[in-house]
Structure formats: structure tokens, C-alpha cells
Amino acid sequence: MFPCVLVFLTIRLPAGAQTTAAWTWMGGSNTVPVIAGGQQGVYGTLGTAAAGNIPASRWDAVSWTDSSGNFWLFGGSGYAAATNDLGVLLNDFWEYNPTTNEWTWMGGSSNPGAQSAGVYGTLGAPAAANIPGCRSGAVSWTGSDGKLWLFGGVGCDATRNFGYLNDLWQYDPATNEWTWIGGTNVVGIHDGQPGVYGTLGTPAPGNFPGGRSNPSSWTDNSGNFWLFGGTGFDSRGDLGTLNDLWEFKPSTGEWAWMSGSRTTNGTSPGINGWPGVYGTLGTPAAGNIPGSRISASTWADGSGNLWLFGGGGFDANDTLTTLNDLWEFNPSTSEWAWMAGSTASAGCTTYQRGLIICAGQPGVYGMPATPAAGNIPGGRTSTASWIDASGNLWLFGGQGYDSAGNNGNLNDLWMFNPSTSQWEWMSGNTTTSGCGLTPEGNLICTGQPGEYGTLGTADPGNNPGARLGPSSWTDKQGNFWLFGGDGSDSAGTIGVLNDVWEYRQSITAPPATAAPTFSPAPGITSSTQATSVSVTIADATPGAIIYYTINGAAPTTSSTVYSGPITVSSSGILTIQTIEALAIAAGDSPSTLASATYTIKLLPTFAVSASPASMTVTAGESAATTVTVTPANGFNSTVSFSCSGLPSGASCSFSPATVTPPLAPASTALTITTTASSAALRRSSGPLIPAVAVGLGLCCLGLRRRRLQQIFLAAVCIAALTLITSCGSSPPQSNTSTLTITATSGSIQQTTTFTLTVN
């Protein structure tokens, strides 16, 4: 048996057209000017709708949906074209008709750089000239009579002083008039008014929340308004992060402090807050209370219960972090229940200058549109949120933590089903697009760019870019709408947006024309070593999105294709599954459109080595080394040996002649026997040989001359012969050879070398 490593991919095609969910880019710009960082507004004529009208780029604006299904937008932090500034506080007021797709400028300043003061008029008296001052981070409600309500935020009072506001306003769409209902029209010398709490649970005319920004708000089934937390002023006038819960009854015009603390936790301005008291998961209790926080997501379900998710605030350990806890509040019992998410941060890091940042929990995404008990959005703040006709809770984006634990702007869409207490990741990306360090040493991650498609055309491949602080609405058909925010445009450029999006939970999508294809074709590859296969998954349906998993990890999305190496080894099984978003019906489990199986056979083999790998001997002696066979991939066959490259007159022998590794290394002894002829002899051809030859010639010639000369020449002849004897040869020299040792088993042949020097 040989081990196999498998790569699985499956093919199944949908039949005919299917219903699925999709985003539609409905208006505004899909780009952010690099220098400006935002788009200027087109105001048109006051009170007149027009196709070309569009609010300027902004985030943290106030939004409402009226009884006719029209959307309303007020203020926020935005872009001022005249001064080319971002973060200017606005007080322009807009109406949007989703049926005609047209905006109407209804009031406030058309000069975003003006940072206008509020015109309060007389308390309780509507007037055409009244208008709230510029602000960001306010909250809103829609009354049962269709009137729109606004509270607080950070912005401009009646004297154009900046601070934390606690003014309460009402707007009547029928008369187009604002009414200052309560709170103060000035922020005071401390930049915000303290709260007047009264007696817990008891409404009173003098009660009023302190000035604050970015609290959470709801409307219950009885038409009462609820307010929680935010950054603002407590009963002592101390600034901090709050966890107080308030109820306002429009019928009586009175506030009641319902739970939480009337003071902040400490005296450090702006950064102190109360830890959460979580109790038992899923169990309401009188002592439970969410930790102090800002910019949480809120919903009110069909039963009148109020829901709260995440935000920036304090966990159970009194650690300031980005939260992902989910809470339910029952107005009839005045009790909170912790329903999901973490009670603690993911850990803290100290950066330069002693800055401590405590990370929020990463998201657990699971498979697209597949509910699971372990799924949970990562910690985040400043998201968009909705509730659908079935009572499910939805949220989009915000600033927070992705599946890898990186902090940045997000563009993921989630649904929570209160009946099952399970989250589903519906669309968008599981990660930010990239991270880097700021000059201060802090980690910053950019958000994913938007996939806008064609203006006015729904497409499952569309997705808004990552953003925080967008505005959101729900129309009469139950479709979700999104506007602006601080985030990424179609090119991934960071700036302030003014794009308009619609999300429909059900559209008719065209059928997939073909399955994704794989290259190389699936099949079996044989190898003796761990290897890799480079697989490309190409989508045959233009515009669709491919989801794939590797080794059961969280799904990763690729806009159209996946291409990369799949490293395969004998250590485990690697799986890739592709899911095409075009064929996923909203709320259904994803159906696998394409899959294939790649098998790599790891063939039995072995390696051979010699130790020692070299030796020096005298001619006529023997050399010995140990040859070891190391099996791999289950090899256990017989191996025989031979050698080549021996010096002259030498021979080799192996003992034993063959080995059979028992799934473990096995050895044989190699002996190399040399002879005297194994050493090379060097014959001299030195410079004396010509002289000796001349001497011998003279000897022969001299035999014919006189005797004295013969004696002399005889001496020369003897000397020449002596030179011939003494200079004609030299001692033996070393002879170095490289032997090749060959190990053979059937068709498998492996070699190693041994260096032998003979003196």
C-alpha cells in the first residue's frame, strides 16, 4: 500500500434561474477624489426633488424612515468643497424617495463649511425658521404619528459653540417644521450639560439625559423611545463613556432613567466607563447591564424587545476595547440578557509613547449563508443595521476586527436569527485588504474596495466597499438601503463616501451557464517525494464570485478566479471547495457548483549513503565503509549493491550482498581491496637524458682513438651509465579515485559516492 494525499473539489450545477440576494448601486459617486477626500453635494432648489441632487459625502449622520416609506438624512461629519476640508459638521436636511430615486434638499445650510448654529425658536413651538445646529453622532426615532425625532450629538448650539448636545427636536414632514421639544440650547462652560436622573424607573418633567454623542437608540412597540450610553456627561457633570438607559414617552414628554449608572466610573475625562455585568448566557437578570459604550448597533424586534451589539466600550474586565457582545433588553421586565459574543477583549498591546490598545475579538465566519452556533461577527463599531420582515437582525461593515484579527474598515454583511440565536455571514469579505504600521508604530488596515457594477443594476457580484458610520434605512418592501460613510471606493481609495446602495434579499438571478473549470485537469500524479500542484480555478460565469476553503479554514473569496500552489505532503488531507455566490439563494445553505479530486501517490523509495565517505590506504591494503539504505513511503523490498570507478587492480565486496529494510534503515559492509599496482608509478624524462645520450655516443666513438683518450672516454661512459641508473625513475605517487556505489531494487536505483586514495 502506498500513502495518498487527496485534494477534493465537487461539481454540481443549478437548474435554471434561481432567487438570490444582491446589492445595487443606486446613486452617488463610486470614487473619492484623492486630493479632496470626498464629494461635494448638489443641493438644487430648496424643497424641489431632482435627479441630479445628491448630499455631500459624510459619516455619522442621522437617518429616519417616515410612514410613507421615504428616507430622511440630517447632518453628520462631512466634506466642505469650499474649504476642501473633511470632518466639517453639517446641518443640511434631506429627503430621499426610493421609488423615484431622487433627493430633495429640505432645510439647513447648503454651505457645509459654515458649521451653522441651531435656530431653536420657542420651546415647544414649531416654526419654519427652526433648524437644529450642525452635529454628528446624534440619534433618531420615528414616532407612531410619523413625526421624526432627534436627540443630542456633538455639534453647534444656539450660539455656535461646540460641545455635547442634549437638545430634543421633533420634525413634522406634513408642515416641514422643526420644534425644539426639550433639553438646553447651549452647551455651557463645560462643553456639555450634566444629566438630571431623578428616581430610577420614575418619569418626571425635570429629568433629562446629559449631553452626549454616539449613543444607541430604539423605538418599542408602544411607541416609546429608548436611549443608551454614548460619550457624554453624567449627573456630576463628569465627561466619560456612559451605560445609562433612558425611556422617553412622547405621550407625556417625560424622561425616565431605567438602568445603568448615573455617574461615570472615575474622573479621567472621556475615557472612563463601567464594565459589563454579563451574568449567564441567555438568561435575563436584574443585575445584568452592558458595559459603557459608544456607536453600538441596535434593533427592535417584532416582540418589542431591544437588541444591542458591539460598539467601542468596556468589557467585563473594565478593559476599553471594540466589543462583539450581543444583548437583549425586555422593556416589560426591564432586564438585560447577554445573548452571544465575548465578555472580554482579545488581549492588549503597548505601543510607542505608552499607548495601550486592547484588541477586539476576531470574526468567526463559517460558510456563506450558513448559520452555525460558532459564528460571530468580530468586534466592531459604527455599523449599519436593519431588521427584516421575519424579525432577523442585520448588520453591515463598521470599523473592527476581521477573521485574522486585523483591525480596519469592514464590508461584511451578517444576519442574526433571534429564534435560533445563530449568526450567518451573508456576503462581503472576511478580511481587510492589507495592514501596515503608522509612524507611531500602530497597526492600521485598509478596507476592501467596493464592487459597484452597473448603476441601477442588481448583481450578486456587487458589494459596497468597507466603511464606518454609514446611514441606513428600510423601505416598505423590506429592502435595506445604505448611504455614505468613511471608507473605500471602487479603487480602494480611502475617503468619505456619498454612494447610495440598495440590498434586496431576493432577486431572480440568471442561471449559471457553466461550472468553474480547473487546471490542470483532476487526476492522479505519482511521485516519490512530497510535492505541490498549482491549481487554477476559473469561473465560467462572468461576474460571479468564487468561495473556496483550504484544509477546512474559513472560506476565502476571490473576485473571479483562484490560482496558486496547493502544497501536498504525506502529513494530511487538503481540501478545496468552490462556491459560486451567484447560485446561493438568500438564507439557504450554499450549494457546491464545482469540485474535483486530485490524488498524489507517494511511491515507495529509499535513499543510500556511505559512512565514512572517504579513506586513504597504502597500496596492497583494504578499505572499509558502511553503506546504509533508508526506506521511505513504506519501502521494504530487497536491495542489491555494486560499485564502479575502482582504481587499477582493486576490487570491492559487500557483506551481506543484499539487504531488506524492515521499514527502518538497514546496512551492509563494503570492503575495497587494493594491490601494489593500485598506486601509480611516475617515469622521469628529466633534462639529463640528452646529455647521457651524448656521453654514450662519445664512448662508442672513442674506442677508435688513442689509449689516453680511451681511458678518459671510458670514465665518461661510466658516469653516463650511473646517471641513467640514478635518474631514470621516482618513488610511487598517490592515486585518488571516486567510487560510485549503486543500490538497486527492481526499477528503483539510487547511488552514493566514496572517495579512495591509495599511496
| Backbone φ, ψ for residue 114 (5° rounding) | -75, -25
- Reference 672, options 694, 695, 650; nearest CA is 650
pLDDT at 321: 96
- DSSP annotation of 234 reads -
Residues in the chain, total: 759
Instruction: Collect all residues with Cβ–Cβ distance below 8 Å to 569 and sequence separation of at least 6.
Output: 5, 530
Beta-strand pair 494-509/597-602: unpaired
* 465's grid cell: 466597499
- Reference 180, options 191, 188, 172; nearest CA is 172
Which single residue is written with the C-alpha cell 645520450? Answer: 693
Per the CB < 8 A criterion, the answer to whether 55 and 108 are in contact is no
Looking at mean pLDDT, say which of 504-513, 528-537, 626-635 comes out highest: 626-635
Per the CB < 8 A criterion, the answer to whether 390 and 447 are in contact is no
Q: Give the separation between CA 178 and CA 181, rounded to whole angstroms.
A: 9
pLDDT at 518: 73
The H helix count followed by the E strand count for the chain is 2, 52
* Cα dihedral 87/236/289/415 (nearest 10): -10
Q: What mean pLDDT is reported for the chain? A: 84
| Backbone φ, ψ for residue 42 (5° rounding) | -115, 105
Whether the per-residue pLDDT at 550 is higher than 70: the answer is no
pLDDT at 34: 76
CA angle, residues 201, 311, 274, in degrees to nearest 5: 50
- The model's pLDDT over 242-283, given as tens digits with 9 standing for 90+, comes to 999 999 999 999 999 999 999 998 755 446 899 999 999 999
- Reference 22, options 540, 556, 451; nearest CA is 451
- The model's pLDDT over 665-702, given as tens digits with 9 standing for 90+, comes to 999 999 999 998 877 543 333 433 333 333 333 333 33
Give the C-alpha distances (Å, rounded to integers) separating 405 from 408, 432, 435, 444, 727: 10, 10, 11, 12, 86
Please state which of the ranges 190-204, 592-606, 706-720, 737-751 shows the lowest mean pLDDT.
706-720
* 695's grid cell: 656521453
Q: Taking residues 174-190, what's their average pLDDT? A: 97
pLDDT at 542: 57
Question: For residue 279, how many other CB atoms are within 10 A of its CB?
Answer: 18
Please state which of the ranges 192-201, 438-447, 483-492, 691-700 shows the lowest mean pLDDT.
691-700
Give the C-alpha distances (Å, rounded to integers) separating 289 from 211, 331, 411: 21, 14, 29
Q: Taking residues 198-224, what's their average pLDDT? A: 97
Give the ranges where 560-621 is alpha helix by DSSP (H). Answer: none
Q: Taking residues 548-566, what's their average pLDDT? A: 56
Q: Taking residues 124-129, what's their average pLDDT? A: 98
- DSSP annotation of 698 reads H
pLDDT at 360: 96
- Reference 469, options 226, 137, 156; nearest CA is 137
Instruction: Collect all residues with Cβ–Cβ distance below 8 Å to 160 and sequence separation of at least 6.
Output: 115, 116, 117, 133
pLDDT at 203: 98
Per the CB < 8 A criterion, the answer to whether 697 and 689 are in contact is no
Beta-strand pair 561-568/517-519: unpaired
Q: Give the separation between CA 485 and CA 55, rounded to whole angstroms.
A: 12
Q: Give the separation between CA 129 and CA 65, rounded to whole angstroms.
A: 23
651 vs 37, residue with greater confidence: 651
Q: pTM value?
A: 0.72
pLDDT at 224: 96
Specify the domain boundaries for CATH 2.60.40.10 within the chain. 605-680+733-758
pLDDT at 350: 78
Q: Give the separation between CA 173 and CA 653, rounded to whole angstroms.
A: 106
pLDDT at 692: 34
- The model's pLDDT over 457-516, given as tens digits with 9 standing for 90+, comes to 998 889 999 999 999 999 999 999 999 999 999 999 999 999 999 999 987 655 544 666
Please state which of the ranges 7-11, 257-261, 610-614 shows the lowest mean pLDDT.
7-11
Per the CB < 8 A criterion, the answer to whether 233 and 203 are in contact is no
- Reference 468, options 484, 481, 485; nearest CA is 485
Q: Is the peptide bond before 520 cis (omega within 30 degrees of 0)?
A: yes
- The three state secondary structure string of 481-492 is EEEEEEEECCCC
Beta-carbon-side half-sphere exposure of residue 488 (alpha carbons within 13 Å): 24
Q: Give the separation between CA 337 and CA 317, rounded to whole angstroms.
A: 18
343 vs 632, residue with greater confidence: 343
Could you tell me what percent of the chain has a pLDDT over 70?
Answer: 78
Per the CB < 8 A criterion, the answer to whether 308 and 217 are in contact is no
Q: Does domain 605-680+733-758 have CATH number 2.30.40.10?
A: no
pLDDT at 445: 72
> Please, which pLDDT band fits residue 520 given cuts at 50, 70 and 90?
confident
Whether the per-residue pLDDT at 19 is higher than 80: the answer is no
> Please, which pLDDT band fits residue 708 given cuts at 50, 70 and 90?
very low
Whether the per-residue pLDDT at 409 is higher than 70: the answer is yes
pLDDT at 4: 41
- The model's pLDDT over 353-401, given as tens digits with 9 standing for 90+, comes to 666 789 999 999 998 888 999 999 999 999 999 999 999 999 999 999 9
> Sign (positive/negative) of CA torsion 315, 320, 323, 329?
positive
Q: Taking residues 202-217, what's their average pLDDT? A: 98
pLDDT at 378: 98
pLDDT at 115: 86
* 283's grid cell: 438568561
Per the CB < 8 A criterion, the answer to whether 308 and 216 are in contact is yes
> Sign (positive/negative) of CA torsion 393, 399, 404, 405?
negative
CA angle, residues 148, 154, 159, in degrees to nearest 5: 90
* 244's grid cell: 445609562
> Please, which pLDDT band fits residue 548 given cuts at 50, 70 and 90?
low
Give the ranges where 249-408 is alpha helix by DSSP (H). Answer: none
Please state which of the ranges 13-27, 92-106, 224-238, 679-693 shows the lowest mean pLDDT.
679-693
pLDDT at 593: 61
Instruction: Collect all residues with Cβ–Cβ distance below 8 Å to 694 and sequence separation of at least 6.
Output: none
Whether the per-residue pLDDT at 8 is higher than 50: the answer is no
Q: Give the separation between CA 473 and CA 455, rounded to whole angstroms.
A: 19
One-letter amino acid for residue 141 of the chain: W
- Reference 209, options 250, 171, 166; nearest CA is 166
> Please, which pLDDT band fits residue 16 given cuts at 50, 70 and 90?
very low
Instruction: Collect all residues with Cβ–Cβ distance below 8 Å to 42 and sequence separation of at least 6.
Output: 52, 53, 54
Whether the per-residue pLDDT at 568 is higher than 80: the answer is no
pLDDT at 603: 85
* 354's grid cell: 505608552
> Please, which pLDDT band fits residue 317 given cuts at 50, 70 and 90?
very high
